[in-house]
Amino acid sequence: MKATITGIGVVGGFGCGVSALEKAAAESTGIPAKTFKIRTTDVQADVSCFLADTTSLAAFVPRKALRRIDHFARLALLGSYLALADAGLDENRRGRMGIVVATGYGSTCDTFDFLNTTLDEDDPCSSPIRFANSVHSAAAAHIAAFLGEHGPTLTINQYDMSVPLAFQTACQWLEEDRVDSVLVGGADEFSRAMGFYTQHLQPGRKSGPPPDDAITQSPVGEGSAFFVLEKDSEEPSSYAHVSSAGVTAMNGSPDAAPPGTKMIVNPDSRRTAPQRGNTECASFAHLYGSLPVGMAFDIAMAAIMLKTGKRYPAGTAIAGDRRQKVTPLRAAQVRDHQHIGCLKFGLAGDVGLVVLSTK
Amino acid sequence: MRRLRPVAITGMGCLCAAGLDLPACTDFLFQGKRNPAPPSRLAIAASPPYPVFEVPDPFFDPTLLMRDCRLRNSQLALMAVTEAIIDAGLDRRMLGAERVGVCIGSSVDESIGNRALRKSVSQAESPIITPDHRFLLSNPAVHIAREFELSGPRQTVVNACAASADAIGLAAAWIRQGICDAVIAGGVDELYQVTYNGFISLMNFDRTPCKPFDVDRGGLNLGEGAAVMILEAEESVRRRRKSPRAYVLGYGAASDAYHFTTPHPEGKGLRLAIKEALRAGGLQPEDMAFVNAHGTGTLDNDRIEAHVFHQMFPQAPFFSTKGYIGHTLGAAGAIDAVLTIACLEQGKIPPSAGFSTPDPELPVSPVPETTAITGSIAISDTLAFGGNNSVLALGLEGN
């Protein structure tokens, strides 16, 4: 059984929808980054970030219904609706649908707000809505409720490995006939926490770990990328098959990629890629920034390229262990697409790989 | 949903307020005691404090481990894993040589990392370590994989109170699909100030020891703990000549798609999850020796479960563990799963602590005393925030 990507919904600093991502990829540059000022006791820094606008969610959901939905869940909701619309999958055709949401940080803004009231003010009567939205499964639950879907709903939180694990689960559900389709994707929002993360990498800071050259190259990103996966679809409108998806430890054997597979590497991991022979690598993080679920956007780029046959100029990818000299591969292009692997080397020593193939 | 192969369970470990290993926890359930008390480790504002079920200290034995571990959540998980590995007859060398994965459910692990980070942010200090490192330091799946040098996938499921039941169900699929030779699957949650205050804000925290399914029930009490199972592939079990202790026969999950903190009034998601678990195991409702209910003691949860059990398992006795150990949130599904198997092995189920007076609005009530059971298969169900419902069908026989 092959899982087929039949719809994609993306939201990020580049805009929303597949066409916005394609346009940004074709132009390669020109996405305006916003500036977030970090002021700490030892550093003043301006952090560049790509912020996502969710106002177009109103096209799918009455604004009144969104009153209690926070920004993180709105990102996930908008990505979901866009993916379903792209797949042309209305509720009559999608059968039993599962939902898998991957996130690196979860709803950090709500979590921090709730922590502020419970820890600083020690308030036992703090907002129940804020508490509910701080629960990591909130976005998936809101998606299920808005869509009226009764299939299994899952949230995976394994930092930078959340996306390949989510794809692995989605494929398992289809394989076991647990569902007819899966809405799977990743979401993360910008917050002060993510700003601090980047600030830590700036030179001139007095304390903390050493700056990491590999991570300072993209603005901080936020957004969501969702996919509709269906079984064995050969619909002309579908994008690509998911040949394999999974995670293994660095000392395991991750290579499920067929020979000649081109790789899109997501470079915002602190542990960067060990040399992989002559494997050609590309990166598109300059389009959506650095975020734990960035690999979901890589998968979107891979699927678009496999469907359209178009080639987009790639940004900087990193090969080489950070203990060695970091070697950027600039302006690599993904060619001869039959298989494109999306590769992520995780902070904890994991390797995540999702391989897409032409239909 | 088609019928799926059973997956062998070759070892189990558990610690919670009822005891520091699975035999102690099981014995405790049949002793008719419980020890809720005000939280001893949380800075709390509520007065008088709400009772909780804490794991008694000292529970952590660092001499059993190779690496340092200072976070309570991961310490709880590692103690449960150590017990399960010994129970399975495995050692570190064997674990390192096989494709062994880790799949852990939790509701607080990431939030624990946020707590320290929030302090740095609010005080405009540069944190000592970055958010990504904080996440990994507070991630029990990573701790377990590092401690035992495992090469398989490591995954944390954060499906609120259903998280660890889902983790076990997903891990069983890793075995069936050949991703792993063995998986350490389960859940962990420590008592945490955010959830303590959060449930108070939702006004479903009982100021007295909780009373699941009782007419006077007034909400839940929080608990803490961890439980894991070693799930093992047939080939590995055969090669080791190990007799499985039990089997994961079926797993089902479904969403209410109704409300974030209130279950569907007709238990739609729970019914679907039960049906899926039964279909996956090729089982019938009458095969069940008993049901281990989620039974939190909240008005809505217990009402929904009682009506669903009455219609779907009219013959099966049921009970709740929450009166003995509190609601352990992300660990609840795994703790209930290992206690379900322990009860199957003993051929009896305990009374539901705190239950004394039936609720006339509920069509069925839990067993009032220790009850002998017949059969070797049981259901354990969990209902979670966000309308997630997860059900495990567990049995002593694989056929």
pLDDT in tens, B126-156: 555 666 666 667 789 999 999 999 989 999 9
- CB pair distance less than 8 Å for B126 and A40: yes
Nearest alpha-carbon partner for A157 in B114, B294, B194, B250: B114
Nearest alpha-carbon partner for A214 in A103, A325, A348, A293: A325
What are the tens digits of pLDDT across the range B229-248?
999 999 999 999 999 999 99
Cβ contacts of residue B36 below 8 Å, gap of 6+?
B17, B51, B52, B53, B209, B210, B221, B326
What are the tens digits of pLDDT across the range A285-306?
888 988 889 999 999 999 999 9
- Percent of chain B at pLDDT > 90 equals 79
Q: Taking CB atoms and an 8 Å cutoff, what residues of chain A touch B122?
A: 116, 120
| pLDDT for res B104 | 97
Q: Taking CB atoms and an 8 Å cutoff, what residues of chain B touch A152?
A: 253-255
Q: Taking the complete model, does pTM exceed 0.90, yes or no?
A: yes
pLDDT of A207 > 90? The answer is: no
pLDDT of B40 > 60? The answer is: yes
| Banded model confidence at residue B339, pLDDT cuts 50, 70, 90 | very high
**Separation in Å, CA of B334 to nearest CA in chain A:** 16
pLDDT of A183 > 70? The answer is: yes
Query: Please, what is the average pLDDT of chain A?
Result: 79
- Percent of chain B at pLDDT > 70 equals 92
Beta pairing, strands B377-383 & B290-293? parallel
Q: Taking CB atoms and an 8 Å cutoff, what residues of chain B touch A147?
A: 257
- CB pair distance less than 8 Å for B201 and A153: no
| Banded model confidence at residue A124, pLDDT cuts 50, 70, 90 | low
Q: Domains of chain A by range and CATH?
A: 3-357 (3.40.47.10)
Label residue B162 exposed, middle or buried (CB < 10 Å: 0-12, 13-18, 19+): buried
- CB pair distance less than 8 Å for A197 and B130: yes
pLDDT of B251 > 90? The answer is: yes
Nearest alpha-carbon partner for A187 in A69, A311, A317: A69
Q: Contact, A282 vs A248, CB < 8 A? A: no
Q: Is B327 a catalytic residue?
A: yes
Range with lowest mean pLDDT among A339-348, B71-80, B208-217: A339-348
Range with lowest mean pLDDT among A173-182, A246-255, B198-207, B256-265: A246-255
Nearest to A154 among B44, B142, B166 (CB): B166
Query: Please, what is the average pLDDT of chain B?
Result: 92
Q: Domains of chain B by range and CATH?
A: 7-395 (3.40.47.10)
Nearest to A118 among B119, B194, B261 (CB): B194
Name beta bridge partners: B226.
B15, B188
Q: Is B294 a catalytic residue?
A: yes
Task: Search chain A and give the residue with CA nearest B145.
Answer: A249
The total number of residues shown for chain A amounts to 359
